[in-house]
Each structure stands twice: as structure tokens, then as C-alpha cells.
């Protein structure tokens, strides 16, 4: 093995759209120039799985030959399960970097909470691995990942070189633009936004009612330092994310209440 190969960092690639999604192949291509790529991804789509883990049933993990250029494993569990199995059973050590995505669809603002892509990256960070989630603001299976690949490579290289603040991961969202139209990278905060749910109410063939979740995204945040602002203005948004969920700034206030 050539020395350059030995010194290459190991890059774990996960996602939530499943191992056959074009986005994970795009991410593998973007990472292959800077490291040794190992893919461990769900065997079926797992969008909206959040930080779910599988505790009440067994997991399957099988080597597959889908992305022929890269070592690839499919797992029957959630995106977070994939990270745990990758570290414990596939790599048997921590990789130098964990990247998740490229998600088909934005994971900006409140979506970070529902996203399996971001939860996988968060699990990497909990494992003390520098971790990044990448998402493209385009849900289509045939989305153009040209700009995403360019920025994923750029940001992953910078993280390998500089590291990340402790207990922090990155939520990177790429606007749905051609590479030449993207204005650059902005460090942002998560916008205050939510989904306004509606449920489509229908009848099944036996006339029993069922519901299907729909909804529209509402951004309450007018700040120009948010991820939503950056994406709307043609920038790649980079939000540092932490897994300490404590609202530290409220502790003094809560201590004043007579419980």
C-alpha cells in the first residue's frame, strides 16, 4: 500500500434516504478525493426518523456491492443505528470524519430535529467524531448534486484540517442552484421556524378513517444571520449544532419560581 493511501483519513458516510439514494453516492464521490470512504446506510428510506434507535428488535448488517468504488454496508435499522454499527462492527474504531447525506431536501432550521440525516451526524458527534450533515434544498431523486459535491468536499477538507469545537457538529445546507450561482459559505444560527401541520383525512377501502401528514413551513425569524436567510440569498448555510439541549439562559429565571 502506498504511503499516501495509508495516511488517508477514514471517512464514514451515512444517510437517511437509504443506500440506493443518489445523494449518498454523490457524497461518496465528493469524499473519495480526500479520504478512504466507507458507507454504512439504511437498507430503505428513513426520512423523518429523527434520533430513533432500534432497541426492541435485532438489526441486520450486510456488505453490499452497490457503489462499486466504495466499501458499502446496508443496515436494517435507523440512521443512528448505522453510525453505532459502523463504529462498533464495521470499522471497529472511530473514523476521522463522519458525514451524512447528501439529503434529498433541506434540513435547515427546525428540520434538524426531525431529520435522520442530522441525527446520524449528531450521533457521530456524541461518539466524539468530527461530524457533518449535508442537505440539498431539492427533494427530487434526480436533483443536481454538482454544487453540493463541491461544497461538501471544501467543508469536509476544512474540518479535517481544523477540527471542530468540542461537542459540536455542522448542519450544512446547500441552495438548489448551479455551482456558479452559489455565493459562498455563511456560518449561521438555526432560524426560528416550524411546520404548520394539516392532516389529510381519508377513508380506506373498508371505510375506516386514516390520516396523512401534510403541512407548510413557516419561518417566524427575520434575522439575517439565520440558515433560512442564507439559503434564500444564495449561500451555503453552516450551522454549528450541539447535543447539549439545556436552555442555560433560563436557569436563573427558573430558580426564582417557587416549585
Binding to a second copy in span 100-129, by CB under 8 A = 110, 112-114, 119, 122, 126-127
Place of cell 461538501: 152
Q: Give yes or no for residue 135 binding a second copy (CB under 8 A).
A: no
Give the CA diameter of the chain: 67
Q: Give yes or no for residue 51 binding a second copy (CB under 8 A).
A: yes
User: Do 76 and 109 form a contact (C-beta atoms < 8 A)?
Assistant: no
Q: Give yes or no for residue 1 binding a second copy (CB under 8 A).
A: no
Q: Give yes or no for residue 49 binding a second copy (CB under 8 A).
A: yes
- CA separation for the pair 94, 188 (Å, rounded): 28
- CA separation for the pair 175, 180 (Å, rounded): 12
- H helix or E strand, kind and range, residue 240: strand 235-242
Q: Which of 144, 153, 168, 176 binds a second copy (CB under 8 A)?
A: 168
Q: Give yes or no for residue 224 binding a second copy (CB under 8 A).
A: no
Q: Which of 20, 189, 217, 232 binds a second copy (CB under 8 A)?
A: 189
Q: Give yes or no for residue 85 binding a second copy (CB under 8 A).
A: yes
Cβ of residue 108: shortest distance to a second copy, in angstroms? Answer: 12
Q: Give yes or no for residue 48 binding a second copy (CB under 8 A).
A: yes
CB under 8 Å to 241, separation ≥6 — which residues?
112, 118, 121, 122, 125, 168, 169, 170, 171, 190
Cβ of residue 21: shortest distance to a second copy, in angstroms? Answer: 14
Q: Which of 63, 89, 179, 183 binds a second copy (CB under 8 A)?
A: 89
Amino acid at each position: 500500500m502506498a504511503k499516501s493511501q495509508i495516511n488517508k483519513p477514514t471517512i464514514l458516510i451515512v444517510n437517511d434516504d437509504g443506500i440506493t439514494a443518489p445523494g449518498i453516492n454523490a457524497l461518496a464521490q465528493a469524499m473519495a478525493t480526500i479520504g478512504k470512504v466507507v458507507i454504512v446506510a439504511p437498507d430503505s428510506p428513513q426520512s423523518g426518523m429523527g434520533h430513533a434507535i432500534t432497541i426492541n428488535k435485532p438489526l441486520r448488517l450486510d456488505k453490499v456491492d452497490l457503489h462499486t468504488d466504495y466499501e458499502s454496508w446496508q443496515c436494517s435499522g435507523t440512521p443512528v443505528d448505522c453510525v453505532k454499527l459502523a463504529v462498533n462492527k464495521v470499522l471497529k474504531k472511530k473514523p476521522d470524519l463522519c458525514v451524512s447525506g447528501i439529503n434529498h431536501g433541506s434540513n435547515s432550521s427546525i428540520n434538524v430535529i426531525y431529520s435522520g440525516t442530522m441525527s446520524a451526524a449528531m450521533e457521530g458527534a456524541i461518539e466524539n467524531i468530527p461530524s457533518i450533515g449535508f442537505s440539498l434544498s431539492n427533494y427530487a431523486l434526480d436533483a443536481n448534486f454538482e454544487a453540493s459535491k463541491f461544497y461538501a468536499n471544501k467543508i469536509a477538507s476544512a474540518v479535517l484540517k481544523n477540527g471542530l469545537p468540542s461537542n459540536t457538529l455542522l448542519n450544512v445546507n446547500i441552495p438548489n442552484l448551479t455551482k456558479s450561482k452559489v455565493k459562498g459559505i455563511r456560518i449561521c444560527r438555526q432560524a426560528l421556524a416550524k411546520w404548520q401541520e394539516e392532516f389529510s383525512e381519508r377513508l380506506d377501502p373498508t371505510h375506516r378513517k386514516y390520516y396523512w401528514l401534510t403541512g407548510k413551513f413557516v419561518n417566524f425569524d427575520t434575522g439575517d444571520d439565520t440558515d433560512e436567510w442564507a439559503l434564500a440569498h444564495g449561500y451555503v448555510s453552516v450551522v454549528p449544532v450541539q447535543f447539549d439541549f439545556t436552555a442555560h439562559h433560563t436557569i436563573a429565571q427558573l430558580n426564582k419560581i417557587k416549585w
